[in-house]
Amino acid sequence: FHPILKKYRPHHGVDYSAPHGTPVSAVGDGTVSFAGYRAGYGKLIIIRHPNGYETRYGHLSRFVRGAEKGIKIKQGDIIGYVGSTGLTTGPHLHYEMRLNNRFINPLKTRIPAGRPLPDVAREDFIQLTNAMTVILVSMNPAVTTVAAKDAVETVDEKM
């Protein structure tokens, strides 16, 4: 049910709530095939990726300078910022994924792994993860201790 249009219509993406202005990064390497305004989506960037994949990032407040059709994007590049353009009730990122122009559920899709963390950044990552774990535990020790312990063990296992 669409909260603004007050009618049922398909929703083919995942909405990620985030504060207005939060940076949005590309999920993988590709080429921008569209950067502009589209009804419903508001400010939208579409990226074509290898092997028939396409990702869409909607409701952006603005694009990064130079984000236009034809530019090459690398995984992790900031492409825009969270907003509430188009048909929205508040700031969030509308994220869609398509394969050969068919909607797919990004939460259930097995996609190729991203680039591994370079060795030179690994120690910084572990230190940052440990610092964030301390902050999480201090917020609500009863709830976050198990989650933080699992996260640290997972990071250690992968290192």
CATH (domain of 90): 2.70.70.10
| pLDDT of amino acid 53 | 94
Q: How many structural domains compose the chain?
A: 2
Closest among 47, 32, 43, 35 to 91, alpha carbons compared: 43
**Residue 159: pLDDT over 70:** no
Strand partners, 113: none
Query: Considering the domain boundaries, does residue 146 fall inside one?
Result: yes
d(CA 141, CA 74): 38
Per-residue pLDDT, 152: 47
Residue 52: how many other CB atoms lie within 10 Å: 11
Alpha carbon distance 75, 108 (integer Å): 20
Is the domain of 19 the same as that of 49?
yes
- Residue 80's pLDDT band, with cuts at 50, 70 and 90, is very high
Quick check: 128 and 117 in contact, CB under 8 A?
A: no
Of 104, 129, 148, the domain-final residue = 104
Average pLDDT, the chain: 83
> 139 or 60: whose pLDDT is higher?
60
> Does 144 lie in the same domain as 89?
no
Which pLDDT value is given to residue 83? 94
Q: What are the tens digits of pLDDT across the range 15-25?
A: 898 999 999 99
Rounded Cα distance, 54 and 97, in Å? 6
Residue with tokens 């994007």: 73
Q: Where are the beta strands (DSSP E) in the chain?
A: 14-17, 23-25, 30-38, 42-48, 53-63, 72-73, 78-82, 92-99, 102-104
Q: The pTM is what?
A: 0.68
pLDDT of residue 69: 97
- Measured in residues, the chain has a length of 159
Residue 152 domain boundaries: 119-158
Average the pLDDT over 63-86 and give the result. 94
pLDDT of residue 110: 81
Which pLDDT belongs to residue 23?
94
pLDDT band at 148 (very low <50, low <70, confident <90, very high): very low
